Amino acid sequence: MLIVIENLLSSEEVAQFREKLSSAQWGDGAQTAGTRSVEVKQNLQVDRQCPVGTELGNTILRKLGQNPLFVSASLAETIWPPVFNCYQDGGHYGTHVDSAIMRDNDLGLTIRSDLSATVFLSEPDEYEGGELVIEEQYGAQGVKLSAGDMVLYPSSSLHQVAPVTSGQRICAIMWMQSAIADATERAMLFDLDQSIQALSVGRSADDPDIDRLIHVYHNLIRRWAQV
């Protein structure tokens, strides 16, 4: 299931991010790749100790916590701090799958990666190529969104970033452990929650039919959650 969250960041916020990232500490992104991925990864990443990256990453995390669509789709239990990257001059990331278990001993953080996310910080016309290509059940889908938009997709999927042949593709990426590990169950809960929200429009706060649906929703979470 691919979910696009539009305008996670406003155009003004994107401009502020870009200005601050211009003074960040950038390094070779291959240093954070796995054993096989290092052979297919060519990009730049902001050093995880860089104060600029930490500040901007915390801003994204606050935005996610306030976004109803993200909360509904992810049911995130833990979020890996955002990583900022830049693709240019043919930079790419060949077909790979994200690590199932991610650990950071410095942060004391271990998560199971259920969902991955990319927040686009460059407009599509600022660079050529650079599509995020995600292999789904019914074929590969290329994603290239407006600056400030985010795509949420299964970490278990094979995906790649196509070569950037001109310009710069600047993004933030992150991973989440969901309270609901099973992707099918998570998708069912998302559909149910979205339906509840749509049906609630114009109804009273104590509508008994809506209350029953909310009752079912939370009891399904209670049955399926791993917390």
End-to-end CA distance of the chain: 22
For 113-138, give the DSSP string: --EEEEEE-S-GGGEEE--EEEEETT
Helix (H, G, I), strand (E, B) or coil at 139: strand
List, as residue ranges, the binding site: 96, 98, 159, 169
List, as residue ranges, the binding site for 2-oxoglutarate: 169
Helix (H, G, I), strand (E, B) or coil at 92: strand
Which residues face 206 on adjacent strands?
none
List, as residue ranges, the binding site for Fe cation: 96, 98, 159
Percentages (nearest 5) of helix, strand, coil residues in the chain: 35, 35, 30
CA-based nearest residue to 195, from 177, 219, 212, 179: 212
